[in-house]
Amino acid sequence: MELSERAEEALEELWLAEERGESFASADAEPAVAELAAAGLVQRREDSVSLTPVGRAEARAVTRRHRLAERLLADVLDVRPAAVESVACRFEHVLARGIDDKVCALLGHPKSCPHGLPIPPGPCCEDNEHSPVRLVASLAEMEPGEQGRIAYLHPRERATLDKLMAMGAVPGAAITLTQRFPSFVLQVGQTQVAVDSDIASSIYVRLAGSAPPRRRRRWGRLQRG
Amino acid sequence: MSTEAPTEPRTRVHYPAPIEAAIARLIPLLHGEYGLSARAVALLLLQGDAEVERLVRAQEGERAAAIAGVVAEIEPAFSGPLSYVIGLARQAAADRIAGRTASPPTRTRGGFAEWLGRAMMRPLTGLPILLIVIYFGLYQFVGVFGAGTLVNLLEGTLFDKHINPWVTAAVTRVLPWPVANSLFVGEYGLFTMGLKYAVAIILPIVTTFFLVFAIIEDTGYLPRLALLTDRVLKRVGLSGRAVIPMVLGFGCDTMATMVTRVLETTRERVIATLLLALAIPCSAQLGVILALLAGWPAGLAIWAGVVGLVFLLVGYLAAKLMPGQPASFYIEIPPLRWPAPANVLVKTYTRLEWYLAEVLPLFLFASVLIWVGQLTHVFQWAVTVFTYPVQWIGLPRPAAVAFLFGFFRRDYGAAGLYDLAQSGGLTPPQLLVAMVTLTLFLPCVAQLLMMSKERGWRTALAMAAFIVPFAFGVGFALNATLRLLRI
């Protein structure tokens, strides 16, 4: 459905409020809220506004586009961190339905935005679709010989972050994958390190000279779903 | 260098503005004595260092709440944990310094070392290399030279021919009563058995093993072995890092149990301790078993196969049953290099020193236990108890003594079985069953005590309670299978 930009912003705020467990009450957003209520996406209750199921799905999609946009700007287009937020706000409205999935695949299905907030996954993430051109991929998805610079880290646990830092695997570091089996062996700067697939899937690399991924048989789980 | 007071360091790491601001607010609040600069303490607080937090709480009194408040305030300003942000800033500073002062090597290390290093990391070439290392390092050097030549020299010539008779004579002169002198120079005396065992038999074997281990360690082979074995070890709830205590276990299980400290999680440590106690034979045992079954390769293969199977099966089940996070694996792979003789000698010496201080007294203690046990007839009673499971797995009654001894002296137990076999008391299949059961049986007294120390006596007791019936259970199954197939 076609919503005004203001209404989409309001949906995002509602989603964020739900994520944080706060209630949404904003008088400035009145016209937007009115529009959403008319479209059946929110319902008013006493002094707070909450999403209807349909509204929640729509808010999810809007948030997804926004955070994907942030990732694209930060990781690939190298926009300054201060500017990412404001540019993404306008960029997201351009990412119409369908294109967001393509951007998601391009970025290797990122799980979180640069601020650390989760990106609601889309159908492309479940199927783990490969785009014909990959710009960002997790180490677990790379082929031996591929190299690039680490774009960001998405570890499952905080402790892994310290380990990765100790290895020198920090955003911006040059990294090459030398081996996949039986363990992942990578070269970070002058250091050679071996890790298992769990840690390998925490490291997201901006590939240098993007080559299309070869069709590869999956030996068990490669990437956490 | 001048002796004036230290000035501001020339190279200072600059952190993002919110962090610098927080540091500026924290410094005036820190009045206590820490042995560190206030800036260092502030940074540690921001990184969430538990130790420093405790010190600050103890020393700052009412300011502690304000301090905690400052830390809590700036946390949400960043998308990652503060320790990460601070780490990144330091990394950037380090990169800058390195960029100004060092240049990367223009030519990547090529040559044989590189090729060999890579060969060690691929399964196809890595496994043959492992077998070669095992054959030359373990079998030839530790087994044939250490357990054979050196032990014969020390035990046969030095102790049996020279030291023991002299000491026996001296002690019997001072303490003519059999009860007293049997403690020192009797059949299981402190000196004749305890000390002789530790110095003449275990020491040379363990020394040769530590020597080989230090050489392998110094070359940088172990991390490569770790990455080869990670997937297999993951199935038994461990990670590639566990290869270090496991390999050490083939030398001395007691030391390996202590080394399980390098493993990250308690879950890993418990599983590793269990597997070490159950299925990893130490060098003393290995020596005797190899000597005994050397003439019967099929028997050796069956022994290795059964023990290996037990390792995987019990490990797999333990991994399923034990709660906790699966282990993660990461290890730095250093370049392959020639071992430095000085390093090797220092490492061997350090381990030996530890061994003499920690393990030797335990074997002396074992002698005392046996002496007490014999005096009070507890020993004989224990032997009688053992005859039941021993017969149940198809062995003759005299084999019971060997098992009881296996607890105090692993190789004595095996040697006892050897004597029995030689005198015709054991058929080859029976010998095989006995060997397998003895390998799986309770760890030696030193190891059991180390297990209690490392994992707590409750866990150690639980493991022992599992191991004993399990070992005999496997013996029973093997006996039944052999009977079925051979007759």
Measure B238 CA to nearest chain A CA, in Å: 12
Angle (CA) B70 B74 B76, round 5° = 140
Instruction: Identify the closest residue of chain B to A117 by CA–CA distance.
Output: B79
Q: What is the DSSP letter of B6?
A: P
Distance, in Å, from the CA atom of A203 to the CA atom of B483, rounded to the nearest integer, reads 55
Report CB contact under 8 Å: B80, A161: yes
Distance, in Å, from the CA atom of A24 to the CA atom of A31, rounded to the nearest integer, reads 15
Report CB contact under 8 Å: A195, B329: yes
B322: number of Cβ within 10 Å? 15
Distance, in Å, from the CA atom of B416 to the CA atom of B401, rounded to the nearest integer, reads 8
Phi, psi of A56 (to 5 degrees): -65, -45
Quick check: B141 and B214 in contact, CB under 8 A? Answer: no
Give the pairing type, strands A191-195 and A136-138.
unpaired
| The pLDDT value given to residue A211 | 44
| The pLDDT value given to residue A49 | 79
Taking only the tens place, the pLDDT of each residue in A48-106 is 778 888 888 888 888 998 898 888 888 877 778 788 888 888 787 777 777 888 888 88
List, as ranges, residues 85-124 from A with C-beta within 8 Å of B.
114-116
The CA–CA distances, whole Å, from B98 to B8, B81, B103, B111 equal 21, 26, 8, 27
B417: number of Cβ within 10 Å? 29
| Amino acid of residue B120 | M
Report CB contact under 8 Å: B328, A196: yes
Q: Render each residue's pLDDT in chain B as its tens digit; 487 residues.
A: 444 445 556 667 888 888 888 888 888 888 878 888 888 888 888 888 888 888 888 887 778 888 888 888 888 777 778 888 888 888 888 888 888 888 877 666 667 888 888 888 888 888 888 888 888 887 778 777 777 777 777 777 777 777 777 777 777 777 777 777 667 766 666 777 667 777 777 788 888 888 988 999 999 999 999 999 998 898 888 988 899 899 888 888 888 898 899 898 889 999 999 999 999 988 777 777 777 776 777 888 888 899 999 999 999 999 888 888 888 898 999 988 889 999 999 999 998 888 888 777 777 777 777 778 777 888 788 888 888 888 888 888 778 877 777 777 776 676 777 777 777 777 778 888 888 888 888 888 778 888 888 888 898 899 989 998 898 889 888 888 888 887 4
| The pLDDT value given to residue A217 | 40
For an interface test with B, which of A183, A191, A193 has the most B Cβ atoms less than 10 Å from its Cβ? A183
User: In the predicted model, is pLDDT for residue A225 greater than 60?
Assistant: no
Taking only the tens place, the pLDDT of each residue in A136-174 is 888 888 888 888 999 888 888 877 888 888 888 888 888
Terminus-to-terminus CA distance in chain B, angstroms? 85
Report CB contact under 8 Å: B104, A190: yes
> How many residues comprise chain B?
487
Q: Is the ipTM, as predicted for this complex, more than 0.85?
A: no
Burial of residue B131 (number of CB atoms within 10 Å: 0-12, 13-18, 19+): exposed
List, as ranges, residues 173-212 from A with C-beta within 8 Å of B.
179, 181-183, 185, 190-196, 198-199
Largest separation between any pair of C-alpha atoms in chain B: 89
Distance, in Å, from the CA atom of B197 to the CA atom of A22, rounded to the nearest integer, reads 72
When pLDDT is cut at 50, 70 and 90, the band that residue A186 belongs to is very high
Quick check: B23 and B42 in contact, CB under 8 A? Answer: yes
Quick check: B479 and B433 in contact, CB under 8 A? Answer: yes
| Structural tokens at position B372 | 């007490």
For an interface test with A, which of B108, B227, B232, B336 has the most A Cβ atoms less than 10 Å from its Cβ? B227
The CA–CA distances, whole Å, from B486 to B105, B432, B433, B482 equal 64, 13, 13, 6
**Among partner residues B231, B239, B332, which is closest to A191 by beta-carbon distance?**
B332
Q: Is A25 on the interface with B (CB under 8 A)?
A: no
- Closest by CA to B278, choosing from B235, B329, B313, is B313
Measure B332 CA to nearest chain A CA, in Å: 4
| Chain A residues within 8 A of B331 when measuring between CB atoms | 193-194
**Among partner residues A115, A183, A191, which is closest to B230 by beta-carbon distance?**
A183
Largest separation between any pair of C-alpha atoms in chain A: 62
Distance, in Å, from the CA atom of A84 to the CA atom of B146, rounded to the nearest integer, reads 68
| Structural tokens at position B360 | 């030797």
B297: number of Cβ within 10 Å? 9
Quick check: A212 and A133 in contact, CB under 8 A? Answer: yes
Measure B91 CA to nearest chain A CA, in Å: 8
| Chain B residues within 8 A of A163 when measuring between CB atoms | 328, 330
What pTM was computed for the model?
0.75
| The pLDDT value given to residue A213 | 46
**Which residues are paired to A185 by β-bridges?**
A179, A194
| The pLDDT value given to residue B487 | 47
| The pLDDT value given to residue B7 | 54
| The pLDDT value given to residue B9 | 60
Distance, in Å, from the CA atom of B401 to the CA atom of B381, rounded to the nearest integer, reads 11
Phi, psi of A173 (to 5 degrees): -75, 145
Measure B63 CA to nearest chain A CA, in Å: 29
| The pLDDT value given to residue A132 | 62
- Closest by CA to B410, choosing from B433, B443, B434, B432, is B443
Phi, psi of A24 (to 5 degrees): -100, 120
Phi, psi of B14 (to 5 degrees): -100, 125
> How many Å separate Cα B160 from the centre of its chain?
32
| Structural tokens at position B277 | 């106690």
Q: Is A37 on the interface with B (CB under 8 A)?
A: no
Report CB contact under 8 Å: B330, A196: yes
Residue carrying the six token digits 């260098």? B1
- Closest by CA to B471, choosing from B449, B431, B430, B442, is B442
Helix, strand and coil in chain B, % to nearest 5: 80, 0, 20
Instruction: Identify the closest residue of chain B to A168 by CA–CA distance.
Output: B91
